[in-house]
Chain A
């Protein structure tokens, strides 16, 4: 770095009075608009990169059902806060349960039994999609999942028809979602991944790669139900294949969703991803399909809308409950204890897009409070408005009913 030659903008604008052009609203007649012709030869307007094509149209062709998004309560978001639910040291399962029950009833304006009937039948196979990233610190609280299971079982769903799921099996284990902790409840990861091999700790790929060159979890994905995007996953990249099961242009949905589950309860965590949020729509958008890393750069948040437009989610997603008992305002989506905090809040909605819009705005508020830079540019919520245009949810804050208790 050269010796200091910086100067403040104030200094840079010191001028000789005779030779100035004053630019202000009052002197707008003196403005030079447009690019000076001198520059026109060099300065190039860059074409915005074309958005990769996807097979969204396939999803939109399928007629909606009475269960389709945005569900029974479009645009309605219930926020329940109880400062006694959790401290750094312990969690009060009873209060967590009360919050859950209160949230459901405020969402439906009915008691728990009638609420259940709005969303489920007794023979439903219900998948509870948790978020196990950041185990123990910011993963979905086990006690909240307990409360959900109790409600389902009390209203007639067999324990064996409840499955706690995520994309990665080892993450579920790390976060405490085990058969020992949840006896009788199914625990399923859509795929495995050999962390040891991915991190270069082992040369042995046999834990994830079959002799025929396919991933051991390949059969867990439904080759007939997929999100296609005109973006290639990298070829000849073992770590990628280990983590994403497939490369190429197809992101297949897990067979758990396409063949088994009849309803989904989505239980993400209140946390950020960069300048945006990683909550309800991202928990499913990037959690229900494989081969996702290729999508981050060109499509990122749009995936959170488009994957949810497929009937396999659109028509099965009954409830979204964002776990904000402990939240994280920066450093996400991975855990970062520097930015985790006790929030003691749960959010409820059938409409994941309205829910994410409310939570995004709350996240912006929190980041400002904590003096973290936050860019409020509309691009970070555009995917929610996109969902509204597709009829999947409500994103316009004026149409969202945000109820706090």
Chain B
């Protein structure tokens, strides 16, 4: 009995918390459209029960809570998903991983990429998706209103300046990414097993591709650790546990050059709080090092 009461109070607490936070659009957000089923709430590892594959990435980026609400009008259905992450940087990180080539809709007052199947939106610490599985162009105005009404209740937060730290010259627009651990890093490069860069779901790495007329395109990763000691530890961990497919060609006190299985080159440099990495270089870099 006590257990049941505890459970009930927990559920009530969740419900109140839900209402105290953001408010999802209700019935008739557009005349005729009604909510379908109750709002689902997932926290922590519950997310694995909702996302079939891919929950690990959200968890790595700092997932806090997901609210899911279905909407219906006759045979048409939509599902709104509102993910709260632990920071605007984390929300942007997830967004960049999920948005693909951005095709924004101007009527939505937040960074977005939208098509007839899905709107993907980021604002503050929130990552939002509006899904229309029918993929009907006619539903885009409804999806837009649903998104707009959701955004009305999202609290304003500081802008994310993390990516401003990427050098602008020769940056390939749209290639910017944020990583916070091995799942985010997986499609970019394999440096070794596990959390080889010791990001620990805390530290953000910023990533982008660059054009280089001499060296071809390459990828730059910049990680700003909390302090130089953490950066040094991560650097040592990387060097000691490098993937066996990476051959170290040259090494100095705070840097090294590798050749990968595709005969492309990488350059890693430890500089105070930072680890800077260039990968996928076509030519072996000739590096001048401050001894």
Q: Which residues of A contact B (CB under 8 A)?
A: 1-2, 4-10, 12-16, 19-25, 28, 31-36, 39, 42-46, 48-49, 88, 133, 136-137, 198-201, 239, 243, 273-275, 330-334, 336-340, 370-379
A-B pairs with beta carbons under 8 Å apart, 30 shown:
A1-B162, A5-B273, A5-B274, A6-B206, A6-B274, A13-B290, A15-B290, A20-B290, A21-B252, A24-B284, A24-B285, A24-B287, A33-B251, A35-B236, A42-B233, A43-B236, A43-B237, A45-B240, A49-B193, A201-B38, A239-B49, A274-B186, A333-B52, A334-B52, A337-B117, A371-B175, A372-B187, A373-B177, A378-B261, A379-B190
Smallest Cβ distance from B59 to chain A, in angstroms? 13
Interface residues of B in 226-257 (CB under 8 A from A): 233, 236-237, 239-241, 243, 245, 248-253, 255, 257
User: Residues of B contacting A43 with CB < 8 Å?
Assistant: 236-237, 239-240
A-B contacts besides A46-B194, A378-B245, 19 pairs, CB < 8 Å: A7-B271, A8-B167, A12-B276, A13-B290, A22-B286, A23-B287, A23-B289, A32-B253, A35-B240, A44-B240, A46-B193, A199-B40, A200-B40, A200-B46, A274-B54, A372-B187, A375-B190, A377-B190, A378-B261
**By the criterion CB–CB under 8 Å, are B220 and A9 in contact?**
yes
| B192 nearest in chain A by CB position | A46
| B158 nearest in chain A by CB position | A1
Smallest Cβ distance from B152 to chain A, in angstroms? 25
| B291: Cβ under 8 A from any A Cβ | yes
Give the complex CA separation of A243 and B51 in angstroms.
Answer: 13
Give the complex CA separation of A376 and B261 in angstroms.
Answer: 9
| B155: Cβ under 8 A from any A Cβ | no
**Binary interface encoding of chain B residues 168-195 relative to chain A, with 1 for a CB under 8 A from any of its CBs, else 0:** 0000001101000000001111100110
Q: Which single member of B46, B177, B193, B291 contacts A20 (CB below 8 Å)?
A: B291
Give the complex CA separation of A33 and B120 in angstroms.
Answer: 47
What band does the interface of chain B fall in when counting residues whose beta carbon is under 8 Å from A?
35 or more
Q: Which single member of A9, A16, A45, A48 contacts B290 (CB below 8 Å)?
A: A16
Q: Which residues of B contact A (CB under 8 A)?
A: 37-38, 40-42, 46, 48-54, 89, 98-101, 113, 115-118, 120, 133, 135, 161-162, 164-167, 174-175, 177, 186-190, 193-194, 204, 206, 220, 222, 224, 233, 236-237, 239-241, 243, 245, 248-253, 255, 257, 261-262, 267, 269, 271, 273-274, 276, 278, 284-291
User: Residues of B contacting A274 with CB < 8 Å?
Assistant: 53-54, 186-187
**By the criterion CB–CB under 8 Å, are B289 and A334 in contact?**
no
| B190 nearest in chain A by CB position | A377
Give the complex CA separation of A44 and B233 in angstroms.
Answer: 10
Smallest Cβ distance from B240 to chain A, in angstroms? 5
User: Residues of A contacting B42 with CB < 8 Å?
Assistant: 200
